[in-house]
Structure 1
Amino acid sequence: MPALYRPFTKKYLYFDDFWNEEQYQLNKIFTEENEYENIVICFPAIGGRTKYWCFSTKIIPNLTLTSVDGTQCIPFYIKAEEGTRQSENITDWALKEYQEHYSDPKITKWDIFYYVYGLLHAPGYRTKYAANLRRELPRIPFAPNFRAFSEAGKQLADLHVNYESQPEYPLGMQEAPGKPLNWRVQKMKLSPDKTAVIYNDFLTLTGVPLQVYDYKLGNRSALEWIIDQYRVKTDPRSGITNDPNNPEDEQYIVRLIKKIVTVSLETVKIVNSLPAEFE
């Protein structure tokens, strides 16, 4: 089954008791028998040393998603026991609290889930509670404008969960004269001014907006995660080579880069539009 090895980087996982001894609660969150597709909000585990981040996905995330310090996940659906049906991870009591606080009976559990995701992106919240977020799970205040955070969170979740479906940003395609057509990646790198991605000897993607680098997950921007992960690399101990090139879709990585530029710019735009007041 597909799994999220690094931000915007999928690998295939053989998720089975025989191969995965420590599954934590993932076998109650992601199973083939699930009635509903699940979404989780990921963020640094307690004690994490990187700058605070959060990300959402509908596939199993790696424990070390952005660093060796670990990752914590909060799902929308959960199973109390193996074999039981999915239930919402937001209680009826919590739903009632939100509805009564905001005098809005139309608030749903999905609204609350997206509200949390939006709030966790708020720069003011991250700054004020930076120390707390390193040593405990996030505490969620009642922001004055619930709907603004909830709607922003829903937009952000759609961008991050469905990143492969986002439109491609119109980067320039600069081909090297005299070089044969080649979509194969060996090891990409950024130009010194970070406005271009040197894809290979044949192709350079130009016109990367610098605002792209404002969207960070841990110590790297989303685009830098792509450049770091989509390269040919051989493990010195096992001799196994990781090759991200897909002969059935040679231009996938080029399209992915363009989509991640879109995701990054839209994320920054939404985050900058969040209300300043969060409690």
Structure 2
Amino acid sequence: MSIMAMSDASILFRTPPSILISNHLTEFKTLYNQQVYPLYLYEEATQDKNVGLGDLFDESLDLTVTQTKYERKDGISDEGLQHFQTAYPNEQIAKEDIFYYTYGLLHSEEYRERYADNLTKELPRIPCVKKAEDFWAFSKAGRALAHWHLNYETVEPYKATLDTGTTPYSQLTADDFRVEKMKFAKKGEKGTVVYNKRITIKDIPVEAYEYVVNGKPALEWVMERQGVSTHKDSGIVNDANDWAIETMNNAAYPLELFLRVITVSLETMKIVKSLPKLDI
């Protein structure tokens, strides 16, 4: 089943280049002043419907109720589809293929380097690569990337070494998973992260930090946000442990999320590094 069969999705992009995909409505500054490229748009459509009150009352008292519905429309235009179909006349290309092609292409390191100057000043332009086989390679890569990026909370956690001292992991209690602030064991060495006084995460592949979102490795976003912090001005306390227990019903959620994002990061970079040469 494709990602889109389960939910709609939108590509989020900002300059300097940072890209993400979401199957939920996002706040405008998720990627800081982002541009959103949805697979589908939903336009409001109203319809007047007469509601009769029956023979008990005068027909002149019948009510007209305005109902609001939403019509789904493609985010990719017919002209855009025709542009790609003309470029690859022997291929059966759908708008969804172009959507994922775009997501794959925007992850291309060669694309980002070649158009680095343009991407700091204007919206990304999506060219047709010369070969149909490369189009499908980018589209397939985009689908695979979407899988990892949309399902980051449910993918298999990376099997890092978890040092829990003299207590086996299986015997840890909910309190043992409470996290205040994750930190690297040594400055400049990212292979080991101290989760809390009870748990240390070891043997983290350093290449996992190559996957960067919004200017920072995805893993370091997890380290920053999955903890306890107090807003300086308001005094409001943000405690990731509350979310883990009350919403996710899993005290180990922050730890498991970190391990899952290792998996996502490694798989992302594997796909990115296998993208075809940008031949346009």
TM bucket (normalised to shorter chain) is 0.7 to 0.9
Q: Please report how far the alpha carbon of residue 105 of structure 1 lies from its aligned counterpart in structure 2 after TM superposition.
A: 4.3
1:162-201 map, 5 Å? 162-177=151-166, 181=173, 182-192=176-186, 193-201=189-197
TM-score, structure 2 as length reference: 0.80
Matched residue, 1:62: 27
Structure 2: tracts of 5 or more residues without a match? 46-68
CA distance in 2, matches of 1:104, 1:258: 43
CA distance in 2, matches of 1:184, 1:240: 19
Specify which of 80, 96, 103 is matched with residue 89 of structure 2.
103
SS at match of 1:79: strand
Matched residue, 1:134: 120
- 2:18–2:215: 8 Å Cα contact kept in structure 1? no
SS at match of 1:127: helix
- 2:182–2:196: 8 Å Cα contact kept in structure 1? yes
Instruction: Summarize deviations over 1:225-268 as a string: whole Å, max 9, x none.
Output: 00011111122332221111122211111111111000000000
Q: Please report how far the alpha carbon of residue 39 of structure 1 lies from its aligned counterpart in structure 2 after TM superposition.
A: 0.5
Corresponding position: 1:73 with 2:69? no
Q: Please report how far the alpha carbon of residue 60 of structure 1 lies from its aligned counterpart in structure 2 after TM superposition.
A: 2.5
Instruction: Summarize deviations over 1:114-154 as a string: whole Å, max 9, x none.
Output: 00000000011100111111111110111131000000000
1:78-93 map, 5 Å? 78-81=41-44, 83-93=69-79
Instruction: Summarize deviations over 1:152-203 as a string: whole Å, max 9, x none.
Output: 0000011101111211110111013489851001111122210012100000
Matched residue, 1:43: 13
Corresponding position: 1:255 with 2:251? no
TM-score, structure 1 as length reference: 0.80
Considering fraction of residues, name the structure with more helix.
2
- 2:193–2:200: 8 Å Cα contact kept in structure 1? yes
Structure 1: tracts of 5 or more residues without a match? 1-34
SS at match of 1:85: strand
In structure 2, the CA distance between the partners of 1:108 and 1:176, relative to structure 1 (3 Å rule), is same
Identical aligned residues as a percent: 37
Q: Which amino acid aligns with 1:157?
A: A
Q: Which amino acid aligns with 2:39?
A: F
Give the aligned CA root-mean-square deviation in angstroms: 2.0
Matched residue, 2:99: 113
Considering fraction of residues, name the structure with more strand.
2
Q: Which of 1 and 2 has greater Rg?
A: 2
Q: Which amino acid aligns with 1:274?
A: L
SS at match of 2:17: coil
- 1:77–1:87: 8 Å Cα contact kept in structure 2? yes
The count of aligned residue pairs is 238
- 1:141–1:278: 8 Å Cα contact kept in structure 2? no
